[in-house]
Structure 1
Amino acid sequence: MPARPVDAMHARPVIDIRHIHRIFESDAGLAHILHDVSLSVYPGEFVAITGPSGSGKSTLMNILGCLDTPTSGKYLLEGLNVAELTDDELAEVRALRIGFVFQSFNLLPRMTVLDNVTLPLAYTDVPRREREKRAVHALRSVGLPVDHYDHRTNELSGGQMQRVAIARALVNDPAIILADEPTGNLDSTTGRQVLDTFHALKRAGKTIVLITHDPGVAAEADRAVQIRDGRIYQGAYVPIEHTDRGAAVERGGRGVPEERSGRGVSEERGDQNIPNERGDGSVPDEHGDRGSSLSPLTSPSRPLEGPFNPIGGPR
């Protein structure tokens, strides 16, 4: 795997989360989903977050994508404190700075491939001809044949739909790509093609954070971190060049807690007024925050305002 550029090793993290907790409230009590999670991702890195179902992966990804807010802790995105951003600024970050790729594609089946990819630009000041030009460029970058551009997305294979979804994530030229199980619904050959696309994006300078439960997919990344029971650990795939930032390296082993001395991770605890876990010490399923019985133990999360909702299309 190609190493990151040397100058990126000394850059400011694009993603820097410090002592993040995420707690939800339900009829059964408090669900402590994320526990004191700290992680830095540097420009041009390809990082995999791996762990079993219910470990907190999706909750963490929602926070990284500014789709949810932590109960406590700090999130610096490209040096900006996310908690200090207005709703309009958050919408702009989601629309322009982050590209989202999902396992289920989230394409509109009655629209053509080209129209799906131009969708994030539909409510901007970009003229239609320029929107189409950018969409064609994004589709070419993921290797989709030109004769597919006027097809409806429900006429495509799973691998082709995922390529369209990646192109849609790229159309605004975001610095960061967040991918949630992007190969989960694909066969091994098609999954290989999608992973090759992510490697090409990395070579083009994109920062990629990919969630997966598959150790083979995680091994494709520059480094992998493992999350279990809402706590983050360094995994077995950490290259040696990352040791200069104090990352814990356990060659061939797992379950090594991430060190707190890495660059960009504050040693100060800050506000730690976190309610206790449930009395039995168990950690509820990470997907509980999606059910109607759970509500965030914070002020209401900011709505997904702005020109484009990355989860499903135009607002």
Structure 2
Amino acid sequence: MTGHAKSHKVAIIGAGSVGATTAYALLLSGLVAEIVLIDIDENRAIGEATDMAHAAHFTQTRIRAGTYADCDNAAAVIITAGVNQKPGQSRLDLVKTNYAVFESMVPQIAAAAPDTILIVATNPVDVLTHAAHKLSGFPVQRVIGSGTAMDTTRFRHELGKAYSVNPRNVHAIIIGEHGDSQIPVWSLATIGSMRLKDYCSQAGKPFDKEHTDGVSKRTREAAYELIKRKGKTNYGVASVLVSILDPIINNADAIVTVSRVGNYEGVEDVALSMPCKLNRDGAHQDVPLLLDADEREAVRKSALSIKEVIESCKS
């Protein structure tokens, strides 16, 4: 653990599968000095925190259960609480129930920790990132949705499999909604510093609509497949949440595709994912992506889809 990390506390709201797995991943990372696990079911939070405390001798991090008041002075508060997505259910189908949860929860967090950074993982994450921004009164850069960071990881994994290369050598992103209207940015995808189209041409690999549609579909439907098989997703999203938190704690100016409230392709006041620079002040959209015309139109449609659901929450 670095000297910088030793001074930081992070609170995690929700001790379900995602919250508990995130707490455990964060505990073993040694990124922060203290983790507070908070849940409406106090016994569950105590049980999970105590179980993880038995592993804490492998780290210098402390973990305990707490209440909203224990969010005070937290560098970040990660929100995972809410109803889980069920088989056959879209992320947007969850909105009414989880929006009501946020109406109760977010003002309490903001009152206890007015200077913290909120990291939202609860689905539908873009709609709830917008809700957390409005309900907290925080500036947009301090309310961050996990967004398509997970989808981007899945996209690189699928591309690595499709072209027989290590995903670390694949640079490609998913933007827009963390959901069915997500956009794979094929125009900017590269492998080994070569544009994907050029790489495929040089390597004798296919690069046509059939193959790109297949990769896009597997990426988009990955969560549905996992939910059908095991009822939830937790390990991937937990690792992504720690990767989002890392540059915030370390003030690293890392570029990550996360969700943030803004104006996108003419659609105002909506949250969706674009590459953002993450540091101790939050998420910053400094440089716009150079998208092609089809991708820009897809972003507009994705933004309108999310905006429609946001408006439905106000009725």
Query: What's the TM-score bracket when you normalise by the shorter of the two chains?
Result: under 0.3
Q: Give the number of the structure whose residues are more often helix, by fraction.
A: 2
Quick one: higher RCO (CA 8 Å, sep 6+), 1 or 2? 1
TM-score of the superposition, structure 1-length normalised? 0.24
TM-score of the superposition, structure 2-length normalised? 0.24
